[in-house]
């Protein structure tokens, strides 16, 4: 049992002890039967301990990330089921997608990523989430290290708001998140999880109680975050100014996401590249369909890890190698 839950139990024990002591005093000195009713301060304190403090302490002890929703819809004593369902679906989908993208999990294996709802607590809407144990996940080798690394990825979300300025995302984020793929995935997840306010939820505050990046990391995303994040997610990805290079790579066009204008280039002919995450502008479903699974050559500006390994490319040109006359150009950003 964690420290917060133990503290709730200690306080409840003290209240029960005080009740028993008060009853004994009343009986010994006045022959009065001390009957507790709903107005009793002891019962009110116990009710708060078990209905509020215990629930929040349990979230804190069992969750990898806690989400606190605020706004008119969350302020109600009993929020509409549609609002809670939307919140849970939004968080679940985007945490899974973040882990999948950052850790390069193929679509065929993404179904093995499970996010567990750890519970709710009162006070607007508090909901806790945790990654489930990956021991039985067939596609993994070293499940323990995978789970630890996946939780480290989730830890990034509460820290994202510190880099979101009024008009742009600070370049400091490229040093804080040096892996371009993880950074790009985190920006997209933050954009998707920034409430629009249309359903009565104005902010999501994220807290990671057991973060490896800080004992208590927290940050808030709102409708004000969306315009800045949209540019980086959909128009102009954030890339390190000092680790950009021009070049071309040959590989297989895979895992396209038309909504985010991203695809993966896999089985690359250059050594030690692995998978290259790519951004393109204005590709149509028809073009993407003609490219999917094909051997292609991509040309553009790419960013490397500090060790020089290419990881992310803003693509300006694609050639299908089976048909060199088939040539797609994309405006350089």
Confidence bin at 37 (pLDDT 50/70/90): low
* Shared domain check, 292 and 260: yes
Within 8 A by CB and 6+ apart from 242, the residues are none
- Same domain? 79 vs 95: yes
Residue at a domain's end among 185, 208, 235 = 235
Q: What is the pLDDT of residue 169?
A: 96
Predicted confidence (pLDDT) at residue 328 exceeds the cutoff of 60:
no
Residue 76: pLDDT over 70 = yes
Domain that residue 99 falls in? 65-235
| pLDDT score, position 134 | 57
Q: What's the rounded mean pLDDT across residues 327-333?
A: 46
Mean pLDDT, the chain, whole residue set? 82
Same domain, yes or no, for 74 and 220? yes
> Mean per-residue pLDDT for 24-40?
63
**Domain count for the chain:** 3
* 51: phi then psi, degrees, rounded to nearest 5: -90, -25
Q: Quote the CA–CA distance of 58 and 53 in Å, as a whole number.
A: 8
Tell me what pLDDT residue 28 has.
Answer: 67
Residues 110 and 128 in one domain: yes
Q: Which residue has the higher pLDDT, 298 or 31?
A: 298
Residues 27 and 74 in one domain: no
Which of 12-21, 63-72, 203-212, 324-333 bottoms out in mean pLDDT, i.e. has the lowest?
Answer: 324-333
Give φ, ψ of 209 to 5 degrees.
-60, -30
Regarding whether 30 and 158 lie in a shared domain, the answer is: no
% of residues, the chain, pLDDT over 90: 43
Q: Do both 183 and 310 map to the same domain? A: no
Residues 190 and 73 in one domain: yes
**Does 101 share its domain with 191?**
yes
Give the model's pLDDT for residue 142. Answer: 52
Under the banding of pLDDT at 50, 70 and 90, the label for residue 286 is confident
Residue 288: the pLDDT is 81
Cα 252 from Cα 313, distance rounded (Å): 14
* Weakest-pLDDT range from 46-50, 108-112, 116-120, 191-195: 46-50
Confirm if 281 and 331 have CB atoms less than 8 A apart: yes
Q: Are residues 229 and 266 in the same domain?
A: no
Q: Can you spell out the DSSP letters for 156-211? A: TGGGGGGGB-SSSB-TTHHHHS--HHHHHHHHHHHHHTS--STTS--EEEEEETT-
Instruction: Report whether pLDDT(211) > 90.
Output: no
* Residue bearing the bigger pLDDT, 58 or 249: 249
Which among 61, 80, 95 is the end of a domain? Answer: 61
- Residue 245, both tokens: 């290079």
Q: Tell me what pLDDT residue 233 has.
A: 93
Burial of 221 (0-12, 13-18, 19+ CB in 10 A): buried
* Each residue's pLDDT tens digit, 218-264: 899 999 999 999 999 999 999 999 999 999 999 999 888 877 889 99
Which of 136-150, 187-201, 220-234 bottoms out in mean pLDDT, i.e. has the lowest? Answer: 136-150
In a shared domain, residues 85 and 204: yes
User: How many Å apart are CA 54 and CA 72, to the nearest integer?
Assistant: 25
Average pLDDT over residues 16-33: 66
Q: Are residues 32 and 134 in the same domain?
A: no
């Amino acid at each position: 049992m964690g420290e917060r839950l133990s503290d709730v139990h200690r306080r409840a024990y003290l209240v029960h002890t005080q009740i028993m002591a008060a009853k004994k005093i009343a009986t010994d000195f006045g022959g009065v039967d001390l009957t507790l009713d709903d107005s009793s301060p002891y019962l009110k304190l116990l009710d708060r301990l078990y209905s509020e403090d215990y629930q929040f302490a349990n979230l804190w002890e069992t969750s990898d990330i806690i989400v606190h929703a605020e706004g008119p819809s969350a302020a109600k004593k009993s929020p509409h089921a549609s609002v809670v369902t939307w919140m849970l679906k939004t968080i679940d989908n985007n945490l899974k997608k973040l882990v999948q993208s950052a850790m390069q999990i193929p679509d065929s294996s993404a179904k093995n990523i499970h996010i567990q709802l750890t519970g709710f607590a009162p006070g607007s809407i508090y909901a806790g989430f945790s990654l489930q144990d990956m021991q039985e996940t067939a596609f993994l080798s070293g499940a323990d290290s995978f789970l630890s690394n996946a939780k480290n990825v989730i830890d990034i979300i509460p820290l994202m708001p510190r880099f979101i300025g009024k008009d742009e995302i600070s370049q400091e984020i490229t040093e804080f998140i040096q892996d371009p793929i993880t950074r790009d995935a985190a920006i997209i997840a933050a954009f998707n999880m920034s409430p629009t306010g249309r359903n009565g939820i104005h902010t999501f505050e994220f807290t990671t109680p057991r973060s490896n990046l800080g004992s208590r990391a927290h940050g808030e995303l709102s409708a004000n975050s969306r315009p800045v994040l949209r540019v980086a997610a959909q128009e102009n990805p954030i890339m390190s100014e000092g680790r950009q290079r021009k070049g071309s790579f040959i590989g297989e066009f895979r895992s396209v996401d038309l909504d985010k204008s991203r695809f993966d280039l896999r089985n690359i002919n250059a050594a030690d590249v692995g998978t290259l995450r790519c951004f393109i502008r204005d590709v149509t479903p028809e073009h993407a369909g003609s490219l999917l699974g094909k051997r292609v050559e991509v040309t553009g500006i790419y960013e490397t890890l500090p060790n020089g390994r290419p990881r992310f490319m803003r693509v300006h040109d694609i050639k299908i190698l089976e048909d060199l006359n088939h040539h797609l150009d994309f405006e350089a950003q």
